[in-house]
Amino acid sequence: MTWNGHRFLPGAPVNGSRALGTQYTPSASNWVAYFITVQLVNASTQSATVAFTADSANPPTIVRTSASSNVVGTTIQQMVWFTAPGDNVKLVASGTGTATIVQQFEIPLHSATE
């Protein structure tokens, strides 16, 4: 796998047990790929958002990707992102609707040697 000029060998997927609003540092030595599925539930005039924040700050402040909905009912969305070694990550929920993590996988990306 090549991304941003780097070759990587994907490691085994880790089915994360991450929680909204909790900061963590997934790897000090490897890039990590994230696949996160969220459920957003709204009634009437509600809206819900989950932001994937990641950078070296503590807590992370840069929103890398997000899922958002103002549709009445249930919406399922997926977010995908890569973080650098040592980055802090936090999934931040906001809005008046309800947001939950349905499924999350993290895949460590090991540097490939040629």
Cα–Cα distances in Å, from 51 out to 3, 15, 48, 94, 101? Answer: 23, 19, 10, 8, 12
Burial pattern 81-109, b for ≥16 Cβ within 10 A else e, equals ebbebebbbbbbbebebebebeebebbbb
Residues (pLDDT < 50) of the chain are 114
Looking at the domain that runs over 2-111, which CATH code has it been given? 2.60.120
Pick the closest to residue 18 from 42, 41, 52, 66 (CA basis): 52
What pLDDT is recorded for position 113? 57
Question: Across the chain, what does the average pLDDT equal?
Answer: 91
pLDDT of residue 93: 98
